[in-house]
């Protein structure tokens, strides 16, 4: 794997965004760094609010030729011109592919489970994500350890995302064995997300 390309950045939005300010912040980050994809990951089930955020963020990403997917809300993808959907686990991947077509991006979060990742791949996911990579207050305390990413990168061709609790040290150590870093809370809580992203990715810059 010595010739593996450096991992790309996969941005994850905060669970709450203010449409008066967040699109401009997102634009600054996208203008500062090359980003492969943005995931709209808003909390709650208010589809009208999420749809407005989807339109605002899509305008920013598509102006920069960056793909945007939405967490869970499959039925908002086509009406709002999004590029795909990010699902939790392998369930629903085949239905999403059938509804959205072959060109859409369909991704799957598989926690710390190699088995779930393999199931997602078999179901037709374009990528899987594992995490968190460090213990967080959320979840059950389980962690996707480096061995999981090392095994996946050696055995499986399907692209893999490392997300949840990334640190500069983890970015450096996981860089050889992951295709994307899913970066969200690590930068949005900072005074300057552009600088925070640069600091986080310094090991692979």
Q: CATH number for the domain including 74?
A: 3.20.20.70
- Is position 2 within any domain? no
**Residue 82's closest CA among 181, 22, 13?**
13
Q: What is the pLDDT of residues 13-58, one digit of tens each?
A: 999 999 999 999 999 999 999 999 999 999 998 999 999 999 999 9
- Is position 116 within any domain? yes
pTM metric for this prediction: 0.95
Query: pLDDT category, 1, cuts 50, 70, 90?
Result: very low
Q: Above pLDDT 90, what percent of the chain?
A: 92
Contact 181, 201 (CB under 8 A): yes
pLDDT at residue number 131: 97
b/e burial code for range 100-134 (CB count within 10 A of at least 16 → b): beeebbbbbbbbbbbebbbbbbebebbbbbbbbbe
- Is position 172 within any domain? yes
- For the chain, the domain total comes to 1
Q: What is the pLDDT of residues 85-124, one digit of tens each?
A: 999 999 999 999 999 999 999 999 999 999 999 999 999 9
Query: pLDDT category, 5, cuts 50, 70, 90?
Result: confident
- Is position 177 within any domain? yes
- Is position 46 within any domain? yes
- Is position 1 within any domain? no
Domain limits for position 193: 8-204
Average pLDDT, the chain: 95
pLDDT at residue number 138: 62
pLDDT at residue number 140: 74
């Amino acid at each position: 794997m010595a010739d593996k390309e450096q991992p790309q950045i996969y941005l994850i939005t905060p669970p709450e965004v203010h449409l008066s300010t967040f699109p401009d912040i997102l634009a600054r980050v996208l203008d500062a760094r090359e980003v492969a994809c943005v995931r709209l990951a808003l909390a709650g089930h208010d589809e009208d609010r999420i749809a407005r955020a989807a339109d605002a963020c899509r305008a920013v990403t598509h102006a920069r030729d960056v793909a945007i997917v939405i967490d869970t809300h499959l039925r908002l993808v086509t009406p709002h011109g999004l590029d795909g959907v990010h699902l939790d686990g392998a369930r629903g991947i085949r239905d999403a592919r059938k509804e959205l077509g072959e060109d859409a991006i369909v991704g799957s979060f598989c926690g710390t489970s190699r088995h779930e990742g393999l199931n997602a791949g078999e179901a037709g996911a374009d990528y899987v994500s594992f995490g968190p990579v460090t213990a967080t207050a959320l979840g059950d305390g389980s962690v996707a350890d480096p061995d999981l990413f090392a095994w996946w990168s050696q055995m499986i061709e399907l692209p893999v995302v490392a997300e949840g609790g990334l640190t500069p040290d983890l970015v450096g150590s996981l860089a050889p064995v992951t295709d994307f870093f899913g970066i969200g809370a690590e930068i949005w809580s900072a005074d300057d997300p552009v600088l925070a992203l640069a600091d986080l990715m310094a090991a692979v810059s």
